[in-house]
Amino acid sequence: MTLAASVPDTWIGRLMQAVRASAKIRAVDVAREEEAVAIACGASLAGGRGAVLIQNAGLLNCGGVLAGLVELYRIPCFFIVSYRGDGRDPIYYHTPKGRVTEATLGAWRLPYALADRAEDLAAQVARGVELADESRGPYVLLITGGDLE
Amino acid sequence: MTPRKTFLEALVAMLTPRDVLVSCLGANARYLPHLAVPAPCIALCDSMGAAIPLALGMALQRPDRHVIALEGDGSLMMSPNVLATVAAARPENLTALLWVNRHYESSGGQALPAAPVDWVGLARGLGLTHVEPVPDVATLHAAFPRARDARSPALLVLDVAFDPHEEIPPYSERPDEIRARFTVA
């Protein structure tokens, strides 16, 4: 990737610390998640490769820009999304987001995978980027805090 | 007040092949295929509020090119937060032009919420330092080169006449055609 646009949560914030340490990836802090999607798309349209690092709450904000920019203009866009509120998340107030995350991804027809920390996570990221490139569309890798250990 | 097309023609006449143009949805996107734009151009037909962040991503990816974003006040009203994002990223090669006509022109000419928004003040309050009001074409002719040379992100706030009877051409290109043609060499 050449650029990663992000709104952090606890988990994504840790991931972005690693991104900032990279000399190859421009980290862009944004105010709202739809911006992150458009910024990543702009980098890709200009010859780079943009990624979006956000929480699932923010992904739920992004239906319009996914349909009206990413899908409509067929732009590769790779997401790493923290999956708050699934069964492994100890924080109770994330639960409603967790309940609707995969259902929403399905309704929006977004291809996605759950990161599997028992396997090679770098390979899963590489595969997601590749699938976004091949489909010229979005691809979402859902992660949990444990995946960052 | 100045008609939209007059502003747009004046801007296009100042562009060079080294620029990159990103247009929001609506009238500007519908006029652009009919103008001789010398720069790579991508025009949106949906996704309100995406023009400035899309241009920001391009500007950060290609610091050797100047990227110009056209955005409407209806779109920016939805997402003024992007101005803070631009101010934080500090691209030296991004100029945004905000077309203020106080109407959602492309959806039937409905009025925006009737608040007297101070766009220049808002943009400065969100951290942009190079912000200029542009009431007419003569000012645009002076302000656009200043914005291009500013070495900081710039916002020009254009005061645009709203004409409910303006005959704006329909969209003449499909997004996949626009996307296929768009390259930044």
CB contact under 8 A, A72 and B175: yes
CA distance A122 to A127: 9
Residue B59, pLDDT score: 98
CB contact under 8 A, B57 and A45: yes
Q: Over the stretch A73-103, which tens digit does the pLDDT of each residue have?
A: 999 999 999 999 988 888 889 999 999 999 9
Considering only CB atoms, A39 lies closest to which of B47, B53, B84, namely: B53
- The share of chain A scoring above pLDDT 70, in percent, equals 100
Residue B106, pLDDT score: 83
pLDDT of B127 > 90? The answer is yes
CB contact under 8 A, B46 and A68: yes
In chain A, whose CA is at the least distance from the CA of B176?
Answer: A73
Tell me if A69 sits within 8 A of A100, measured CB to CB.
no
Which of A39, A52, A135 would best serve as a mutation to test chain B binding (most B beta carbons within 10 A)? A39
What's domain B4-181's architecture?
3-Layer(aba) Sandwich (3.40)
Find residues 51-90 of chain A whose CB sits inside 8 Å of chain B: 64-65, 67-69, 72-75
> Mean of the pLDDT values across residues B62-86?
97
pLDDT tier at B105, thresholds 50, 70, 90: confident
Q: How many other CB atoms are found less than 10 A from the CB of residue B104?
A: 18
Residue A87, pLDDT score: 82
Residue A147, pLDDT score: 79
Q: Over the stretch B133-158, which tens digit does the pLDDT of each residue have?
A: 999 999 999 999 999 999 999 999 99
Mean per-residue pLDDT over chain B, rounded: 96
In chain B, whose CA is at the least distance from the CA of A32?
Answer: B81
Domain ranges of chain B: 4-181
3-state secondary structure of B154: strand
Which residues have a Cβ under 8 Å from the Cβ of B118 and sit 6 or more positions away? none
CA distance B107 to A14: 42
Mean per-residue pLDDT over chain A, rounded: 95
CA distance B118 to B102: 12
pLDDT tier at A145, thresholds 50, 70, 90: confident
Distance in Å, alpha carbon of B6 to nearest chain A alpha carbon: 28
